[in-house]
Amino acid sequence: MSADVLKNVTAADVPLPRQRSLRSFLAIPQGGFGVGLLLLLLALVVVGPFIAPDSPNEISDQPILGPSAQHWLGTDSYGRDILSRVLHGGASVILLPLLAVSAAMVVATLVGLVAGYLGGKVDAVVTWVINIALAIPSYLAVLVVVAAFGGGGAVVVTAVAVVYAPYITRVIRSATQAIAPREFVLAARARGESLGWILFREITPNIGPTLLVEIALRFTYAIMFIASLSFLGLGVQPPSANWGVMVAQNRALLLVSPVGVLVPALLIGVLAIAVNLIADALTQFFGDRIHERLMV
């Protein structure tokens, strides 16, 4: 694809490590704000189930009530307390994307390092597979998987991991390729260092910043993607309390009680924003330009 034609990642795009503190990271507006938001949300998700007034699937009152003193966010069409469901519904919104991204990262980092460093036939095969995988729109791929295997958390996590792995591999491979011809790697080759030493001791520490940015960015996308799939009824299945599922279910209440839809929807947005701000701050912090170059 044309991305390859224009792709001219150079060593200058792979950030060099700089001596900078956590404080200077937080001093970047995006960094401080993003970390703050994320901590707040994590607190909500962790503490939420303990402070929720009702259990998430308990039919506690009349259906479709507007906000009141008893039900701050009203009740849904089954008469469940929306606030309680919101307080319970965050864990899967965070955990499923985290699982998908972790799985994809591990595989993609290994493949990307090896293909990027060795080049030649190994790289040709990997590149070929990546190019084909990238030619399939992510939504399409995941929807095909769901059509074949049925929906649900496990299927969606696996599908998203498989769909994201080629994107991550491409980034890691390019970063590796930019580092591999650098002279300290040549020096290691001239010394006759082992493949493992070169990959993990010479190259990996230098693509660390790129990896971090990649994790944050990919996590943002995964949160949005998996939440959207849950919204479409393909991810987490009802009656589980999950913000995405709640938006889909409470959409019918839009005209009656918009708060019940808006709150879970906004929480998903805020979560993705927090991680996205962190990703952007990391990009600035390290001066990473690979992602911009590869148009991810």
Which residues inside 233-292 make contact with another protein, applying CB under 8 A?
A: 233-234, 244, 247, 251, 254-255, 258, 261-262, 265-266, 268-269, 272-273, 275-277, 280, 292
Residues 260, 67: Cα–Cα separation, whole Å: 8
Residue 187 in contact with another protein, rule: CB under 8 A: yes
Name the residue nearer to another protein (CB basis): 29 or 239. Answer: 29
Stretch that binds another protein, among 51-59, 68-76, 79-87, 179-187 (CB under 8 A): 179-187
Chain positions 129 to 148 lying near another protein, rule: CB under 8 A, are 131-132, 135-141, 143-148
- Interface with another protein includes 98 (CB under 8 A)? no
Shorter beta-carbon distance to another protein: residue 59 or 132: 132
Please tell me whether residue 163 binds another protein under the rule CB under 8 A.
Answer: no
Cβ 155 vs Cβ 145: under 8 Å: yes
Q: Which is nearer to another protein, 48 or 167 (CB)?
A: 167
CB of 59 to another protein, least distance (A): 25
Q: Give CA separation, 96 vs 13, 43, 93, 134, 159, in Å.
A: 31, 18, 6, 22, 11
Site for another protein in 207-226 (CB under 8 A): 208, 220, 224-225
Q: What is the closest distance, in whole angstroms, from the C-beta atom of residue 240 to another protein in the complex?
A: 16
Crossing angle of helices 91-118 and 153-179, rounded to 10° = 30
CA distance 164 to 109: 12
Distance of closest approach, residue 50 Cβ to another protein, in angstroms: 27
- The stretch near another protein (CB under 8 A) out of 47-55, 62-70, 97-105, 188-196 is 188-196
Instruction: By CB under 8 A, name the one of 54, 76, 81, 202 that touches another protein.
Output: 202
Of 198, 222, 245, 246, the one binding another protein (CB under 8 A) is: 198
Nearer to another protein, 58 or 64 (CB): 64
Applying CB under 8 A, the site for another protein has a residue count of 84
| Separation between Cα atoms, residue 296 and residue 290, nearest integer Å | 9
37 binds another protein (CB under 8 A): no
| Site for another protein, residues 39 to 68, rule: CB under 8 A | none
